[in-house]
Amino acid sequence: ALAERGLVVRSPHGDFTLAPQLVLAGDIKAPFDVILLTVKAYALAAALDDVAPAVGAQSMILPVLNGMRHVDAIQARFGAQSLVGGVCKIASTLDAEGRIIQFAKMHDLAYGEMNGERTGRIEALDAQMQNAGFDAALSTTILQDMWEKWVMLASLGGVNCLMRGSIGEIVAAAGGLEFARAFLAECVAIASAAGHAPRASFMANVEALLTAPNSPMTSSMYRDLLAGSAIEAEQIVGDLLARGQALGLQSRLLAACNSQLAIYQAAQLKRA
């Protein structure tokens, strides 16, 4: 479809169609300088197999996947030196025609060395990312940024999926506001125990997001669930729960959500 119609984007910033240079995994002949990984987390293993011929000693792999499990997978496969941290913030989806539909103007991409250093290679990457049509930023706190996004996604996705509604619908229900805050507190407790306590500015923003009256906000995982599609349950919810359990935390709401999503995934497998 990409070869025939190009990459079609419908955006508040203006609609456009790109004719990308396409290459198949079997046609990669030499290492790439940078590999931007944008697959869903459940497709990571296959993607790493595909890009392996493009990974050289000096290559940077910049993933913008959700959660943190991909960090371990990439480092185990290609070594810690290959990994650059990344966080993408955008509200979008693929429609039935394969077009990218951007819901809001936000389109942020942050990246940085996992240890926070400003190396020559990360500054060179930053120079390439500027003026590319989105808001790009070199971050010296990318690991913290990644954990905070994980807390936000797990909280939003968990609340949506367990309650089967938008934030506005949940807040309007009896006990809904308290539920949203309690779910967030469990996710924050795990991040904090892991050494990545969310910053005050993040907490103010995410609590406002999860408790906004009349908000139509839903997570991409919830939208995928409603569409009967594959979901990133293990990477967003299950892995966070497992890390909390390893640290001695009991996260009952997160555990309930994980079980509910496991039931959904089991039903999917039966239908397949």
pTM of the model: 0.93
pLDDT of residue 271: 86
Q: Are 187 and 236 in contact (CB under 8 A)?
A: no
pLDDT of residue 94: 87
Smallest CA-to-CA distance from 152 within 117, 188, 176 is with 188
Strand pairing of 85-94 and 100-112?
antiparallel
pLDDT of residue 248: 98
pLDDT of residue 236: 97
Strand partners, 88: 109
Strand partners, 8: 17
Mean per-residue pLDDT, 197-211: 97
**How far from the centroid of its chain's Cα atoms is residue 70's Cα?**
10
The amino acid sitting at 84 is V
Give the model confidence (pLDDT) of 69-109 as tens digits.
999 999 999 999 999 999 999 988 889 899 999 998 999 99
Q: What is the largest CA-CA distance in the chain?
A: 59
What is the DSSP track for 184-235? HHHHHHHHHHTT-PPPHHHHHHHHHHHT-TT-----HHHHHHHTT----HII
Which structural domains are found in the chain, ordered by start?
2-140 (3.40.50.720), 145-271 (1.10.1040.10)
pLDDT category of residue 197 using cuts at 50, 70 and 90? very high
Residues 6+ apart with CB under 8 A from 69: 41, 234, 235, 239
Average per-residue pLDDT for the chain: 96
How many CA atoms lie within 13 Å of 198's alpha carbon, on the beta-carbon side? 23
Q: Is residue 272's pLDDT more than 80?
A: no
